[in-house]
């Protein structure tokens, strides 16, 4: 029997998350940022330049993270248990896999090329490219799990995740106004203002589904998953979770006051607030698995986000000037050593961002009464229902 999740902490957490930056800005400055309401957000003036001190701190943290990923045993993890992974009955690729791959490749060609015959389609290639990628990769997950994937088991949940993704990223665009536009969209003369709002709304539906499907694929790699399943056990009391919530809100307010030196909090502060809200409401979060020493959900979701957007940054970098979704970065202090448009250290920011996307989905799903399960492999968290055995009761989510 699944524990009931209370909605009041979810609502309060979301309201506090939206109200805190707005109230802080108005109370301290008495007005809104100069770029407020301009969409797509333009490049902001006065962003601090390179700092060896901040860059050095970032490099040290990045090396620490890489050391953990390469040698988790040095951080208190036990060696993976010598168990034989369960054999999965092979199944054919599902019907949506090949069309998704073809759609992604065709849209990719439009995004990077300059086709005179299809020039009118180029500005609209971003959304089909990403949804084609999602469908194709979901098909690979389906084959590797013996017929279990989001599209096959819960297609309605895919739509719910897409809507959540749109709302989630518009929230980050909202925060971006308060943090001097760490990212901006220079190709801002292709659509009207309303056209950009509508088109970007469609484009933002791809953020969470693409990250989740890469995560699902990583969880099907048993040796990778096993590396992080036997780590330190950490359990927090409800009082500690409440303190984390207040730390998240306080740091979000501080981010608005000092956006340049505190810019990494853009991804960390909302994560603390939403994860605490879900936990206080009685829901499962990926951090719940750490109580038993299983860090795999946290680590693999972070890796999935980084890998997903390594591909996304490549697609973005080589896209034509007719791509309205093309983005650039103006990150304080560390805007050097770019891999595509992203500064090298920026890729480590995708690690907490992946977790934030997952917690945002769990929060929204519980708020709307939807099952938040996305795992296709048992043992990480709530798992998608598998087909019941002949004569047995219909499978349920864990």
Per-residue pLDDT tens digits for 301-327: 999 999 999 999 999 999 999 999 999
Residue 178 has pLDDT above 80, yes or no: yes
Q: What is the mean pLDDT of residues 66-82?
A: 93
The Cα 42–Cα 40 span in angstroms is 6
CB atoms closer than 10 angstroms to residue 37: 9
- Going 323 to 325 to 330 to 334, the CA torsion angle's sign is negative
Q: What is the mean pLDDT of residues 391-395?
A: 34
Q: What is the pTM of this model?
A: 0.94
Q: Are 360 and 168 in contact (CB under 8 A)?
A: yes
Residues in CB range of 388: below 8 A, 6 or more apart: 394, 395
- 275 pLDDT tier (thresholds 50, 70, 90): very high
Q: What is the mean pLDDT of residues 65-83?
A: 92
Which pLDDT belongs to residue 109? 94
Token pair belonging to 12: 């309060």
Q: What is the mean pLDDT of residues 348-367?
A: 95
The number of helices, as runs of H, and strands, as runs of E, in the chain is 13, 4
Per-residue pLDDT tens digits for 283-301: 999 999 999 999 999 999 9
**SS3 call for 108:** helix
- What one-character-per-residue DSSP string does 323-362 give? -TT--EE--TBT--SEETTEEGGGGGGHHHHHHHHHHHHH
- 89 pLDDT tier (thresholds 50, 70, 90): confident
Q: What is the mean pLDDT of residues 237-261?
A: 95
Residue 233 has pLDDT above 50, yes or no: yes
Lowest mean pLDDT among 89-93, 234-238, 313-317: 89-93
């Amino acid at each position: 029997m699944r524990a009931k999740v209370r909605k009041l902490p979810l609502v309060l957490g979301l309201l506090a998350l939206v109200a805190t930056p707005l109230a802080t800005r108005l109370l301290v400055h008495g007005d809104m940022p100069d770029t407020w309401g301009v969409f797509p957000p333009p490049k902001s003036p006065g962003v601090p330049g390179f700092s060896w001190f901040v860059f050095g701190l970032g490099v040290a943290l990045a090396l620490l993270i890489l050391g953990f990923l390469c040698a988790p045993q040095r951080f208190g993890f036990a060696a993976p248990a010598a168990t034989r992974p369960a054999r999965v009955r092979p199944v054919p690729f599902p019907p949506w896999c090949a069309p998704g791959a073809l759609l992604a490749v065709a849209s990719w060609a439009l995004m990077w090329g300059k086709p005179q015959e299809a020039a009118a389609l180029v500005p609209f290639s971003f959304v089909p490219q990403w949804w084609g990628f999602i469908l194709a990769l979901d098909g690979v997950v389906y084959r590797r799990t013996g017929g279990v994937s989001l599209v096959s088991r819960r297609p309605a949940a895919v739509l719910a995740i897409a809507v959540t993704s749109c709302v989630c990223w518009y929230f980050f665009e909202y925060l971006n106004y308060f943090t001097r536009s760490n990212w901006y969209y220079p190709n801002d003369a292709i659509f009207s203002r309303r056209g950009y709002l509508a088109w970007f709304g469609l484009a933002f539906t791809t953020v969470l589904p693409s990250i989740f499907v890469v995560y699902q694929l990583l969880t099907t790699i048993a040796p990778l998953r096993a590396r992080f399943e036997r780590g330190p056990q950490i359990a927090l009391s409800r009082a500690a979770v409440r303190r984390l919530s207040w730390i998240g809100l306080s740091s979000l307010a501080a981010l608005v006051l000092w956006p340049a030196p505190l810019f990494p909090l853009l991804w960390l502060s909302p994560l603390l607030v939403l994860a605490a809200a879900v936990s206080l409401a009685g829901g499962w979060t990926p951090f719940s698995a750490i109580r038993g020493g299983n860090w795999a959900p946290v680590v693999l979701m972070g890796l999935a986000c980084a890998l997903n957007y390594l591909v996304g940054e490549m697609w973005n970098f080589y896209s034509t000037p007719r791509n309205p979704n093309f983005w650039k970065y103006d990150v304080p202090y560390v805007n050097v050593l770019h891999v595509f448009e992203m500064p090298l250290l920026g890729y480590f920011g995708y690690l907490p961002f992946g977790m934030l996307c997952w917690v945002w989905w769990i929060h929204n799903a519980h708020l709307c009464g939807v099952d938040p399960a996305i795992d296709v492999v048992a043992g990480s968290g709530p798992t998608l229902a598998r087909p019941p055995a002949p004569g047995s009761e219909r499978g349920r989510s864990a």
